Structures are given as C-alpha cells and as structure tokens.
Amino acid sequence: MSNRVAFVTGSSRGIGRAIALTLCREGYQIIVASPEIENNELVAGEIRASGGEAMTLDLDVGSQESIKEGFGQVLAAKGRVDVLVNNAGITRDGLAMRMKPADWDLVLKINLHGAFFATQQALPGMVKNRWGRIVNISSVVGQAGSPGQANYAASKAGLIGMTKALAQEVGSRGITVNAVAPGYIDTDMTKGLPEELKQKMLATVPLGRMGLPQDIANAVKFLVSEDASYITGHVLAVNGGMYM
C-alpha cells in the first residue's frame, strides 16, 4: 500500500490533522492541504517524524483555480491520488432572517462546492486505476439541522446528497464514496462556544462525552480500508448517539 496517496483537505488542524496522521500510520503518503501554510508544515513534520511521507499544499478550496492547480502539482509529484478526504469546512452562523448573502455564499462555496471540485479533479485518476476512496466529512447538523446554521446545515446536507449520487456514478469503477457525519467534537470550531451551550449540547449525547478528532479519523481509516470495500453511499454517524 505504501505507494498509495491520500489527499486530505483542511488537514492543518483539528479533524483533518487527525485524519492525516492516522492515514500516514496506515502507510499512505499524505497530501496536507489547507491555506494555513505554517500549520501544514507542522503536520507534515509530524508525519515525517513518525516515518511517513508528506507533501504540503497551499490550497484554497473556495477557489476552483486553486483546486485545479493543487491537484496538478500533486499529480506531477506523485502521479496519483487514491484517497480523497473532503474535510475542509467553515461556519458563519447567524439567524436566517438576518444572514448576510456573503456568509451564505462563503459557507456553501468552501464546504460543498470545494468538495465537489476536488472530487472532480480526483476522479479521472481513480477511474483509470479502477480503485479509489472518497470520504466527505459531513455533520450531524446536516442530518438534524441546527438553529442559526442554515448555511452550514445546507452545505453538510448537500454533501450527503452528493455522496449518494457519486457512489452510484462511480461504483462500477471500483471507487467507493462515503460520508462521515461527526457530532459534537472537541475542535477549535467548538472551543469558542459559550460554556452554557457546550453543557446543553453535552446533555444530548447518550455517551456523555464530546467526541475527539481521533474518533472521526478512525471512521475514515475504516472507510478507506479494504475492510470497507463493499460499503458505498453510506453516511457513518460518529456522534455518541446524539442523533439516531
């Protein structure tokens, strides 16, 4: 497996970083891709220190041009992308009545459009090699909704629909397309929430704890493995039971 290449968007920190480090331990060469250049280098350094191979990419998934250019660089350097994890995501929360059009557009652009255009770049090589794994990181919010997050919920629900359509499109080529829907995970995105809200969210989790980035990385590791070769179009909820 050592020649296989895994491209992880938004891998400079949080869930993306955990996924990158976990897949590197499985023998994948990792493409650490995000616009946070210094953090990319830190994660790549961790991968190399553990004996893995990494390449960093200054990637803005909000830009089709950046995505195209980035994949061009990776294919020139590595010759292939076997696994794509569409993890990059942002929030711009606000009540629907007052949501700025720019906040709607940006969240959809990065969370949904970015994942689609990255997938479009990854597919030709996967089709040619008759093997590929695409994992889209959705969210419990895309399944259950959340007040003040119409843009985020729409983007994450969109990923689920896209996952199912693509799974049907490329299954005959030996490519699986699945989604992971994280629940309440301990990341920079949730750290900033008011304590009261954190406690309220925690009360909805039967397992009684926040998830860790590693919990999501473990799910991705399974879905890209040979053990999951007969699973496609699936949404794997990793949420401690907060939504069933």
Q: Please report, for residues 2, 50, 135, the alpha-carbon distance to residue 47 in angstroms, rounded to integers and kept in the order given.
A: 14, 5, 21
Distance of CA 150 to the CA centre of its chain: 19
Q: Order across the sheet with 29-34: list the strands.
A: 54-58, 29-34, 5-9, 83-86, 132-137, 175-182, 235-238
Q: Where are the alpha helices (DSSP H) in the chain?
A: 14-25, 37-49, 64-78, 101-108, 114-129, 140-144, 150-170, 188-191, 195-202, 213-224
Catalytic residue among 152, 184, 230, 243, which?
A: 152
Q: Which amino acid is at 149?
A: Q
- Known catalytic membership, residue 152: yes
Dihedral of CA 137/139/140/144: which sign? Answer: negative
Of residues 107, 80, 86, the one with CA closest to residue 166: 86
Beta bridge partners, 84, equal: 7, 134
Which residues are marked as active site?
Answer: 152
